Chain A
């Protein structure tokens, strides 16, 4: 083989590598782009290419109780999961990052477990547990707001603990000690010194808690009830029987909510730098 044909082959290889990389990126993005695109089609029956564009599908989607209520429920659960994860997770992260005690690794593993146990297995277990509790106490949990809330706090908690711990490890304890030595009491020190320093971690934890709660499928699947169905499950249930621009519009609404969460948190921490 002569030199120029060899170089040509290498150039072909490089082009192929770039093509595969770009195709993979397109592949990952394709379903999102297509679903947003399809939500604006004016066709009565969803088909390609579109005959025209309209925003009617969003109005129709909103008029369907299951989607409107699902949207509001998911929003409510997401906010609840975020607040409770912060309330429980930030102190836990503080303890894990600051103190050294026997069994620290084990406690960390316990707190990460909700992220590790597959959703479908955990969902099944929580469902069985809730029904057993219902039978014994007659408190309805499956299909109730408290039941769903507990599951969603569990979904968000490990993310909050993990991201806040990571940001606290980066903070020098001496900075806090400096504040204490300057006469600030521990509470003032926490709010004036520690909290601002770990704010990016807290914002990241809050954002991830909200998103993983909002998009959760497997755990919620077991716990939703009549009149109380989260948005992703409403989408999945609908998709089992229908495929039209209404569902594309609903999916686009979910995309918009998450995009909004990303934009709000973008001021405080950079998503792309947390990987």
Chain B
């Protein structure tokens, strides 16, 4: 399984990448939505994990754009912080195309199991 991780925070992105790689999952990384869309078109991953607040193209718009090209691809939206609460951003992300959401900070195991679950469901046996 190959996962595309999109997050402008390099520390968060690499932590997620290490976490998934340790679980035997191949990872492609992108630093923002624009780069993420290019990586999506190039790598055609089995699942995407994307942050919401990012420069150039933020996560929700990225999800909307990916959905136009692939309505079934599992997408996990992650976000943290914000006065109006990350629930709001994640709620909108879910409404506009994310398969599921995970507020930051999250339990690493929870992310890995979510990726396995959604990625496994998406991948034909």
- Is A bound to B? no
